[in-house]
Structure 1
């Protein structure tokens, strides 16, 4: 895939809140604390027609291509992003792992903070030669299930050697996630026993974004959950922690490139 930041004046592209995979592959149960959901297999049938816009996200995406091609490395890492991005093909079949906040730090190490906001970083640049070996094994595998087992083995090995997120950042993340991004960051810092500035520094290192940005993205995830329920925008805004409907629409447009209403009627 290739990408570019979405700008005004470009032709319309559909917004995808996560492409639908062709195959869902259960991740090893031991990875549950660190992955956002099961692994996904994408073949030609899963690819969109034309460009699409990928919204901002707290999830780190690790993609291992099933077939090699001349554009981009065979293993890619998409770090948490704070803005929407236009994605356009051509695409290559791949197996994908989605790493949860703190999971990316555990499995990829401190390099997470160095690639924050980047798209399509070569995994080999992050973890070294073992990424190249994984790519070779996945491309030699005959089935999606075998590819999933190889990806599990790679991630489990990384988990045994990776850094442990600090108790303070772990607690801060849980407080913020439990409140759907509504808790004040200064109050969270007080509860974990750190200064506001120190929490911001450590949180960004281990989650990939600053706590204030994480809070905004958590509120956005609440909006996604409400979109198909037929509720009024005013009610969705109130239940998602926004000051009013206009605030919700501004934030939604910032992170997705469109408005909730336009997305629903597209």
Structure 2
């Protein structure tokens, strides 16, 4: 894994670093990908990653050049043939709306081929990135490509950026009714704007923000209390509320997730 820092002008558009990867395993590698408040762009340099149907593990999609995974509220399964090489860019919801230049309702809960969202630019970009002399050159090329597209970005419905930033700053704790009231809109109108522009309603995005913060803490091993204390610290009403969200988003209980995905972290205590 190689990380690259995006151009500072992409702050608020790209979430975290760029990731370059070159993985070789003795056999197929399957992973559970959790839904987070981000839109993921994958550019493939090797055999395409297979997207599996979570119900029966059948192959649901394969996109040779790469794909875009829109905002979702359920986990997905991916599988490699044993070789995986490419680039990953994680967009913020607003960043993805600006970069792709279309409302995200068409990407929500879907994995779409790169060519279907970028058109002829997809193959050219993949070829240029593959032929670039090293990861630093690839990350610089990505900077230029993203900034060029953003220059032509169309405006987003005005209430959505403001409301999203409020949700983000609060970690998903702001009531949707309060946001609508501050904007002078009805809740119905605000929800419709979010569904159109970002693909998911604001309440569901708030839940994904809270869930994402929980996953960060579990991966970092930075929380030393009990499961109940973690739930309350992240704004859940109680542990059962926390468990319901975890099952919906991860398809596992919190304890199962730590045991299967983060065995080196151990577990939080009960109570």
Unaligned stretches of 5+ in structure 2?
50-61, 261-271
- Which residue, 97, 112, 119 being the options, matches 1:105? 97
Choose from 52, 63, 81 the match for 2:42: 63
Work out whether 1:44 is the aligned partner of 2:36: no
- TM-score under structure 1 normalisation? 0.85
1:11 aligned residue: none
SS at 1:125 equivalent:
helix
How far the C-alpha of 1:182 sits from its partner, in A, is 1.9
RMSD: 2.1
Alignment of 1:120-131 (within 5 A): 121-131=112-122
- TM-score, normalised by the number of residues in structure 2: 0.83
CA 1:250–1:47 in 2, change beyond 3 Å: closer, same or farther?
farther
For residue 265 of structure 1, report the CA deviation from its aligned partner: 2.9
Q: Find runs of 4+ consecutive structure 1 residues off by over 4 angstroms.
A: 45-49, 68-71
Q: Of 200, 204, 208, which residue of structure 2 is paired with 1:209?
A: 200
CA distance in 2, matches of 1:103, 1:156: 11
Larger deviation: 61-70 or 191-200?
61-70
Q: State the Cα deviation string for residues 45-99 of structure 1 (Å, max 9, x = none).
A: 5999732211112211111122466952313111111101121222530111110
Worse overlay, 242-251 or 220-229:
220-229
Aligned residues: 244
Output the CA distance in 2 between the equivalents of 1:160 and 1:47.
44
Structure 2 distance, partners of 1:112, 1:142, is 33
Aligned to 1:139: 130
* 2:132 is the counterpart of 1:157: no
SS at match of 1:231: coil
CA contact (8 A) 1:101 1:208 kept: no
Residue range with higher mean Cα deviation, 54-63 or 68-77: 68-77
Q: Is the 8 A contact 2:104 2:196 kept in 1?
A: yes
